[in-house]
Amino acid sequence: MVTCPKCEAPLDVEEEELDEGDVLSCDECGASLKVASVNPVELESEDEVGVVDETFDYDDDDEDEDDAEDEKEEEEWH
First-to-final CA distance of the chain: 71
Question: For 26-53, what is each residue's pLDDT tens digit?
Answer: 999 999 999 999 999 999 987 665 544 5
Q: For residue 68, is it within any domain?
A: yes
Q: For residue 6, is it within any domain?
A: no
Q: Which residues pair with 45 in a beta bridge?
A: 33
Number of domains in the chain: 1
Domain that holds residue 30: 15-77
Distance (Å, whole) CA 43 – CA 45: 7
pTM higher than 0.75: no
